[in-house]
Structure 1
Amino acid sequence: MTTLKVSSRSPNKPVKKLPTSIEITDKTTVQDVKEKLAKPGHWDPERLGIYDSSKKLLKDRRAIVSQQESIMADQELLVKDLGPQLSWTTVFIIEYLGPILINLAVPLLLRPYIYRTSAPLSSSQYLAMAMIVAHFLKREYETLFVHRFSLATMPLFNIFKNSAHYWFLSGFNLAYWVYAPTSYTAQSSPTIDKLNIAGAVLYLFGEVSNFHTHVTLSKLRSKGGTERGIPKGYGFGWVTCPNYFFELLAWTGVLCVTRSWATVLFMGAAWGQMHLWAVKKEKALRKEFPDTYTKKKHVIVPFVG
């Protein structure tokens, strides 16, 4: 049994009713510490961030505290109130629900009020709607049954920032322009043409491949676990994050159907964000597995970047 001093990371904003010390064993995890410290003040344990003396957050909730050299050297934990939290599952469900509802409501319910027309959707517009909605329904399914998150929660207020990308760029942005009676989608291909078919095939290939890579990634971590591994198999020999590559292929298929600058705008923003994540992922894998990880030159698109 070891006794550690407990202090607020931000002295100007101390955590109320925070114990001054805590006893740990050689089996006590970061999550155990959170739960013990939360009891006196009736805190949500997920609101408490645990830091070492260098103010580095201990993200791995299953990490054994006694094995953290920075903690044991100073015999002290720093604690910070991270604010109201939401589970990552809830965050993703909310993020993806927006595009689903918007891309159904605008063409099927709100079109007469927005565009002042009762003209039916073109075949291409129906196809575009089905592809966009199906993409986000797939994401909802993966959130509930495939993905395994290393972090349990995120700050509540981040939901607004995170949702903006999906609700506006793939929600209002796509819906307003793609389903308009004068849109290029409606005018260029009122019936299903060869480019529509090619887009649908590319979309299906991208979505199925993306799902396959997500399953591969989920198998690297036990249920509720935080461990990491080296992803291998289909796509992972080409780039760091083939799941992003296949997602871009799927959206290229959507672009073949919509033929809209609004789709290009969404894809550009998505590519930019995914590239940042992929570069970070490549650096993390090189650092964590320096002797066993095969370094990748390209993080998303083979031979491009």
Structure 2
Amino acid sequence: MVSVTISAAGKPPTVARGLPFTVEFPAKSTDQVTIEDVKSSIANKFPKFYATRQKLSLKGSKASLASDATLKDVGVEDGGELCVKDLGPQISWKTVFMIEYAGPLVIHPIFYHLTRLFYGTEIQHSALQKYIYAFIMLNFVKRELETLFIHRFSHATMPLWNVFRNSAHYHLLSGVALAYAVYSPTYSATSSYIRGTIRDDPRFLWAGAAIWLFAELSNLHTHLTLRALRPPGTRTRAIPYGYGFSLVSCPNYFFEILAWVVIVVLTGSWVAMIFLAVAARQMGIWALKKHRAYKKEFGNDYPRERKVMIPFLF
């Protein structure tokens, strides 16, 4: 039998007022009991303190212990102690993504079809506005489908309150701000900004559409490559190879940026430029973190010539 004392890391959680207490695992040894088993035992005693809300660490350490690690792996013996911290209410990553991407899918049709409500007049949409509307709707429909059927997440949940912060980027910037700007009279079929200019030239629009479609399909391809690296229900990590990955660690971000560059170039909208700058900065942070993680985990096996996100530059 293995017994482990569970104490609070700092202030005792309100959802687990009975700490400290001891969990026991009859007929098991320390190399058989996982951190996930301990979390389950805590959740059994305190039902509101579910496993994804818990952060377990060694006494005197703030480092989170991996759920699939055994007590032996982390150096805890029979009669040892672990500390638990309440991460607060959690929400699944999949749900967060669904909420984020749903915003523009609702907001853009409202601005596109109810022009009198927002601009005080009916607007004859230009070909450019129709293209941009299609690009944005297809982009976020694609993201929703990828979330449902392609993406596999390393972590099951995130803090509930983060959904509001994360969603603001899409709902306010690529949603309200961008929709209000690009469906306005400035971009209408009768506007001097459009009429008789390159933005009214079908060849310009078709060229942009071709590059945008290339970027979106390439982005999808890289997501499928990443999915194939991780079997269902695992956290397996492997070095990705193939289309895009020969040049950068995160080609999915590069192709996403390229798709939005098309929208910026076609419209010349300063709102689109701001969204692109904010999004590219955030993706750059994520890409650098993943690039460093790849190099740390795989060492000399990881291709040295790969850049982080932008081929040959970064």
Which residue, 104, 107, 113 being the options, matches 2:109?
A: 104
Cα distance, 1:167–1:188 mapped onto 2, change above 3 Å: same
Residue of structure 2 equivalent to 1:89: 94
**2:136 corresponds to 1:132:** yes
Counterpart Cα distance in 2 of 1:233 and 1:203: 21
Which residue, 64, 69, 75 being the options, matches 1:63?
A: 69
> Match of 2:232, as an amino acid?
K
**2:267 corresponds to 1:261:** no
Cα distance, 1:291–1:45 mapped onto 2, change above 3 Å: same
1:289, CA displacement in angstroms? 1.1
Counterpart Cα distance in 2 of 1:92 and 1:119: 32
Moved more, 213-222 or 292-301: 292-301
1:277, CA displacement in angstroms? 0.7
Counterpart contact for 1:184–1:259, Cα < 8 Å: no
1:159, CA displacement in angstroms? 0.5
Counterpart Cα distance in 2 of 1:194 and 1:97: 32
1:27, CA displacement in angstroms? 3.2
**Cα deviations by residue, 1:237-281 (Å, 9 ceiling, x for unpaired):** 101111001111111222233221111111100110011111111
Which residue, 144, 147, 167 being the options, matches 2:148?
A: 144
Which residue, 50, 57, 70 being the options, matches 2:56?
A: 50
Task: Give 3-state SS (helix, strand or coil) of 2:242's partner.
Answer: coil
Counterpart Cα distance in 1 of 2:177 and 2:78: 53
Counterpart contact for 2:245–2:251, Cα < 8 Å: yes
Task: Give 3-state SS (helix, strand or coil) of 1:235's partner.
Answer: coil
**Cα deviations by residue, 1:179-233 (Å, 9 ceiling, x for unpaired):** 0012489654454522211111111000000001011111111212122111111
Unaligned regions of 5+ residues in structure 1, if any?
none
Which one has the largest radius of gyration? 2
Cα distance, 1:61–1:222 mapped onto 2, change above 3 Å: farther
Counterpart contact for 1:210–1:242, Cα < 8 Å: yes
Q: TM-score w.r.t. structure 2 length?
A: 0.89
Counterpart Cα distance in 2 of 1:22 and 1:296: 49
**2:218 corresponds to 1:209:** yes
Counterpart contact for 1:282–1:296, Cα < 8 Å: no
Counterpart contact for 1:240–1:278, Cα < 8 Å: yes
**2:5 corresponds to 1:5:** yes
- Matched ranges for 1:1-305 at <5 A: 1-11=1-11, 13=13, 15-18=16-19, 20-24=21-25, 25=28, 26-43=31-48, 44-53=50-59, 54-58=61-65, 60-69=66-75, 71-72=76-77, 75-109=80-114, 111-183=115-187, 187-189=192-194, 191=200, 193-296=202-305, 298-305=307-314
Counterpart Cα distance in 2 of 1:197 and 1:255: 15
Cα distance, 1:292–1:263 mapped onto 2, change above 3 Å: same
Counterpart Cα distance in 2 of 1:193 and 1:64: 62
1:12, CA displacement in angstroms? 5.3
> Match of 1:155, as an amino acid?
P
Counterpart Cα distance in 2 of 1:17 and 1:140: 41
1:72, CA displacement in angstroms? 4.8
Counterpart Cα distance in 2 of 1:133 and 1:127: 10
Task: Give 3-state SS (helix, strand or coil) of 1:39's partner.
Answer: helix
Counterpart Cα distance in 2 of 1:296 and 1:176: 43
Cα distance, 1:52–1:302 mapped onto 2, change above 3 Å: same
Moved more, 260-269 or 48-57: 48-57
Moved more, 192-201 or 137-146: 192-201
Moved more, 30-39 or 259-268: 30-39
Counterpart Cα distance in 1 of 2:84 and 2:238: 29
1:146, CA displacement in angstroms? 0.3
Cα distance, 1:137–1:292 mapped onto 2, change above 3 Å: same
Cα distance, 1:123–1:195 mapped onto 2, change above 3 Å: same
> Match of 2:52, as an amino acid?
E
Cα distance, 1:115–1:144 mapped onto 2, change above 3 Å: same
Q: TM-score w.r.t. structure 1 length?
A: 0.92
